[in-house]
Amino acid sequence: MLKDPTRQAERDKMVDEQIISHGIKDPKVLAAMRRVPRHKFVPSRYSAMAYNDIPLPIDRGQTISQPSLVALMTEALALEGAKKVPEKVLEVGTGSGYQAAVLAEIVSDVFTIEIIEPLATKAAHTLAELGYRNIHTRVGDGYRGWPEEAPFDAIIVTAASDHVPQPLLDQLAVGGRLILPVGRNYQTLELHRRTAKGYERKIITLVRFVPLVREKQQE
């Protein structure tokens, strides 16, 4: 039997059996996970595994995160949803572009930075082919954020740093949320919220991400 090229049934099964069971409840996140075709973001040799809840290798020794973690991090950002208010989200670590697409299903504008140029180019191509017009891509060191577009309602970092980058805290709007893995080999997934008086921090779980690399290690 020929496989359905949209692979909708596989995506629905992934959401029903792997995402909801991880406690994800936000209907906007679940709908986005049902829509974004993850098989378009993984190398063709891994296509058959695209809807398993596992990270998969992409090029240049990098990975596309496991879907339940993408959903968990997206939900933790407590996004309003583009239909109600304009919202700007920054992602550091574009990788395949999959997380950016999930965000773009929910908010009005996604800004995403990738330090490895060929990955950024490939992700931009995939996202354009899929018709995402609200994702803005850039090549560079995301540690510095994207000052010209700040402040952001939410920032997500998908590579691990041993400390919280101050430029990212600075680029949060008041009320804005920053989620990122902090640590070396294993990391704690931390959620920071900017308040009128400062920042609040919450630890969510333990995770394992590839390291955040710096263009120039001067900071």
Ligand X SMILES: C[S@@+](CC[C@H](N)C(=O)[O-])C[C@H]1O[C@@H](n2cnc3c(N)ncnc32)[C@H](O)[C@@H]1O
Kindly state the smallest distance separating residue 196's Cβ from ligand X, in Å: 29
Exposure string for 100-118, b = 16+ CB within 10 A, e = fewer: bbbbbbbbbbbbbbbbbee
> Is there a catalytic annotation at residue 65?
yes
Nearer to ligand X among residue 31 and residue 198 (C-beta)? 31
User: Which residues ranging from 116 to 155 are in contact with ligand X (CB under 6 A)?
Assistant: 116, 119, 141-143
Kindly state the smallest distance separating residue 44's Cβ from ligand X, in Å: 16
Site string for ligand X, 71-110 (x = CB under 6 A): ---------------------xx-xx-xx-----------
Nearer to ligand X among residue 85 and residue 186 (C-beta)? 186
What is the separation of C-alpha 85 from the centre of its chain, rounded to a whole number of angstroms?
20
Instruction: With beta carbons less than 8 A apart as the criterion, state whether 193 and 199 touch.
Output: yes
Instruction: With beta carbons less than 8 A apart as the criterion, state whether 136 and 104 touch.
Output: no
Tokens of 203: 């630890």
Cα–Cα nearest to 58, from 41, 75, 82: 41
Kindly state the smallest distance separating residue 35's Cβ from ligand X, in Å: 15
For residue 165, say if its preceding peptide bond is cis, omega within 30 degrees of 0: no
Instruction: With beta carbons less than 8 A apart as the criterion, state whether 90 and 145 touch.
Output: yes
User: Which residues ranging from 58 to 77 are in contact with ligand X (CB under 6 A)?
Assistant: 62-65
Give the number of other CB atoms < 10 A from CB of residue 27: 9
- Active-site entry in 21, 44, 65, 108: 65
Kindly state the smallest distance separating residue 197's Cβ from ligand X, in Å: 29
Nearer to ligand X among residue 10 and residue 41 (C-beta)? 41
Under the rule (CB under 6 A), what is the footprint of ligand X? 62-65, 92-93, 95-96, 98-99, 113-116, 119, 141-143, 158-159, 209-210, 212-214
Q: Which residues are catalytic?
A: 65
